[in-house]
């Protein structure tokens, strides 16, 4: 399997030489500290990065962070994660559930704590993602950069909705998510509305 080697200078420069394309593949980054190539006290650290995909149907445009790796999911829902580090997904300042261990495929069901409220929380996360989809022409979900830019706590029109969004509480979720969808999709070519639970459930089953 090809590997990727990068060096970290004080300016934190990563040079990507080869990127594995298959989900679950791994590559290694070599980091070194020091001010010049002649330093004898350099300490090298190997960071192994693996690839995965988010969603049974691809979800593009959500943020992720795992150790020293961060980015936005690609058109096929692809992401990278640092091995042995949890990965957290988000839309701007909206966390999508909890941080979890990385793996080849992660879905909303993986991001909610186990327990009685897990099915409700998972389907409500599906509802939010489907409601923010900017391209209804296919089964994939696309979250544009404009949504991530607006979904921040410093946005006075959304601060309260972000604060009180609770995927496990139907009533609290509906109130907060409805406001989020209205504001975040205000520049879409259609009127955004919160997808109901049954429609979200059917769409999720169809994508499996």
52 with 105: CB under 8 angstroms?
Answer: yes
Question: 118 Cβ partners below 8 Å, 6+ apart?
Answer: 109, 112, 168
Q: Per DSSP, what are the bridge partners of residue 100?
A: 87
pTM of the complete model: 0.81
> Cα–Cα distance between 3 and 69 in angstroms, integer?
16
102 with 23: CB under 8 angstroms?
Answer: no
101 with 86: CB under 8 angstroms?
Answer: yes
> Cα–Cα distance between 8 and 54 in angstroms, integer?
28
* Residue pLDDT, tens place only, 56-78: 899 999 999 999 999 999 999 99
* Residue pLDDT, tens place only, 153-201: 999 999 999 999 999 999 999 999 999 999 999 999 999 999 999 999 9
**Residue 179 C-alpha from the chain's centroid:** 21
């Amino acid at each position: 399997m090809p590997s990727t080697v990068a060096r970290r200078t004080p300016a934190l420069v990563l040079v990507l030489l080869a990127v594995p394309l298959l989900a679950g593949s791994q590559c290694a980054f070599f980091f070194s500290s020091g001010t010049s190539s002649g330093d004898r006290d350099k300490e090298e650290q190997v960071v192994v990065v693996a690839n995965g995909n988010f969603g049974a149907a691809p979800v593009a445009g959500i943020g992720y962070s795992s150790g020293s790796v961060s980015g936005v999911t690609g058109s096929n829902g692809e992401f990278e994660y640092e091995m042995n580090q949890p990965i957290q997904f988000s839309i701007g300042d909206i966390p999508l559930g909890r941080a979890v261990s990385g793996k080849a495929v992660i879905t909303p069901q993986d991001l909610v704590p186990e327990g009685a409220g897990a099915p409700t929380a998972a389907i409500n996360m599906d509802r939010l993602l489907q409601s923010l989809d900017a391209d209804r022409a296919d089964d994939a979900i696309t979250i544009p950069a404009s949504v991530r830019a607006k979904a921040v706590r410093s946005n006075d029109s959304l601060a309260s909705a972000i604060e009180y969004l609770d995927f496990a509480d139907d009533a609290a979720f509906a109130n907060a998510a409805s406001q989020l969808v209205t504001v975040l999709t205000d520049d879409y070519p259609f009127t955004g509305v919160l997808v109901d639970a049954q429609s979200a459930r059917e769409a999720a089953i169809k994508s499996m």
